[in-house]
Amino acid sequence: MRLLFIGDVVGRAGRKAVVEALPVLRQRYDLDFVVVNGENAAGGFGITEAITQEILDAGADAITLGNHAFDQKDTLVFIERQPRLIRPLNFPKGTPGKGAGLFKARNDADVLVMNAMGRVYMIELDCPFRAIDAELNACPLKEGADAIFIDFHAEATSEKQALGVFVDGRATGVVGTHTHAPTADERVLPKGTAYQSDTGMTGDYNSVLGMDTEEPVHRFLARIPRQRFEPATGPATVCGLAIEVDDKTGLAVQVGALRLGGCLSQLEPAFWAA
C-alpha cells in the first residue's frame, strides 16, 4: 500500500497548493490512501464545510484537525455529518465528531486514521497515550485494520518521539503536526512504524508559521496585538510524508519526505520515482 500524509494546510495559499497537487500526486504515485491535516485551512484558523469538501474532492481520503478544530463555529455542527473529518480523540467526552475512523483505501484495505493532541505547552486534554492505546487495543493492526495512521498534533518533540516509541510495531505510522516546520528525522522505527516529528505545513514559508509577517513581528516587539493574524499569500510548499506499507504486516517498509512548490528545497520520495 502507498500512503501519503500532507501537513497542516494554511489559508488560501495552502488550499490552492493542495487542491492542485493532490490529483497529480495520486496519479503520479498510484496512491492508495491520502490523509491531510486541515486545521488551519480557513484563514489559518479551523476549517469550514465547503473547504472540507474541496479537499476531499481533490483526492483526500480523510482530514485530520488539531487545536484549531473548532475555531469555525459551524464545525461543531457539520463535523457530525462528515465522517471523514477527524478531530483529536482526547477531547473531552461529548465533544462533537470523532477522533478515529476506519476507511476503505483504493486497494480495498481498511485504514484506521487517528488524530490526537499533545499536552506539553498545549491546552490540557485527556492523556493522548492512553486514548491512542485504547483505540489500538480495540482495533489492532492486521486484526481490525490493514493499516493504522496517527496524526499527533503536538508542540514538544519529546512528546512526539515518546509516542512513536509507545506505538512502534502497533501502528503503520505516527506523524507529528502543529509546529509548521518540517523535521529531517523521517524514518522507520525499529519495530516497523513510520515516524516523523513534524511534517511541516502546506503554506507560504516566507511567513511566520504561515502568517503574514507584520503582525507576528509586531507582537514580539510590542507584546500587544494590533490586528488579527492574516495568512501569507505567496506560493505555498506542499509538505508531506510518503509511506510504503507492507501489505502482509501493515507496517512501514520505507518513508520519504515530500516538498513541492514554494520556496523550500524540492524533495520527492525516491522509492516512488517512476
Query: 210 with 185: CB under 8 angstroms?
Result: no
61 backbone dihedrals φ, ψ, rounded to 5°: -95, -25
| Angle, CA 18 vertex, CA 80 and CA 54 arms, to 5° | 40
Query: 258 with 180: CB under 8 angstroms?
Result: no
Instruction: Using alpha carbons, select from 146, 274, 262 the residue that is nearest to residue 201.
Output: 262
Catalytically annotated residue among 68, 153, 178, 180: 68
DSSP state of 260: E
Q: To which H or E segment does residue 216 belong?
A: helix 214-222
Count other Cβ atoms within 10 Å, centred on residue 137.
Answer: 10
Active site residue 68: yes
**How many Å apart are CA 242 and CA 5, to the nearest integer?**
7
Where on the phi/psi map is residue 34: left (φ > 0), alpha (ψ -120 to 50), or beta? beta
Bridge-based pairing of strands 2-6 and 238-245 is antiparallel
Instruction: Using alpha carbons, select from 251, 263, 153, 120 the residue that is nearest to residue 194.
Output: 251
- Using the structure block, give the residue that is written with the C-alpha cell 510504503: 244
**How many Å apart are CA 251 and CA 194, to the nearest integer?**
8
- Active-site positions read 68
